[in-house]
Amino acid sequence: GRRGGGEEEYLFKVVIIGDSAVGKSNLLSRYARNEFNMHSKATIGVEFQTQSMEIDGKEVKAQIWDTAGQERFRAVTSAYYRGAVGALVVYDISRRTTFDSITRWLDELNTHCDTTVARMLVGNKCDLENIRAVSVEEGKILAEAEGLFFMETSALDSTNVKKAFEIIIQEIYNNVS
Ligand code: GDP
Ligand code: MG
């Protein structure tokens, strides 16, 4: 929207979804605070963090929402999705079942948000190469079939975390500007 002085400001809601323990909370803490927690517990209460970046000389704010651990009960509420314009759909490259769940998460996303939501498939924990259970190729193929961006990340060693968020935020910006 516009504010006084003709300067534009942008605030985008981005949700992070995916099975329990794939690293959603750590992706957010790595991006927003450059923090990682080896023993992180499920968040209590819905939480979001706001991060700013500059695009075309404009301040773009992303309000990034993390599930409150509700994903364990397969009951992420519609309030969580309301108003979202971007989504990171996350699996753990070392746990096959979390990749198999992606279709279900995409279905859920589609029931709550319209198809214009910018979406990225994220294969997290790429530092766990020695126990990899999903190949890069499989991730790419699924992403291509579903029309998603794709990236492998590691919240542990920071690989591609900033990049993943920035690509999705840039894409949202492209969609609205
Ligand atoms: P969430 O349930 O999806 O929010 O997952 P968490 O962020 O709570 O992470 C679950 C567990 O995986 C924690 O023990 C984290 O320390 C660990 N974890 C998260 N991201 C990574 C990563 O990129 N690499 C590795 N090796 N472990 C990770
Ligand atoms: Mg969490």
State the average pLDDT over residues 126-152. Answer: 98
Rg (CA), the chain: 16
The overall pTM is greater than 0.90 = yes
C-alpha closest to that of 124 among 166, 91, 157: 91
All residues at 6 or more sequence positions from 30 whose CB lies less than 8 Å from its CB, including other chains = 36, 155, 158, 161
Confidence bin at 72 (pLDDT 50/70/90)? confident
pLDDT at 31: 95
Of residues 72 and 61, the one with the higher pLDDT is 61
Q: Which residue has the higher pLDDT, 68 or 18?
A: 18
Find the farthest-apart pair of alpha carbons in the chain and give their distance in angstroms, rounded: 55
Q: Which of 17, 19, 26, 29 to mutate to test the pocket of ligand 1 (most atoms within 8 A of CB)?
A: 26
Angle between helical axes of 161-176 and 24-33 (0-180°, round to 10)? 80
Residue nearest to ligand 1 atom 22, measured at CA: 125
pLDDT at position 118? 97
pLDDT of amino acid 40: 74
Question: How confident is the model at residue 110, as a pLDDT?
Answer: 94
Give 102's strand partners: none
Specify the pLDDT at position 62. 96
Work out whether strand 86-92 and strand 118-124 pair parallel, antiparallel, or are unpaired.
parallel
**What is the Å distance from ligand 1's center to 72 Cα?**
15
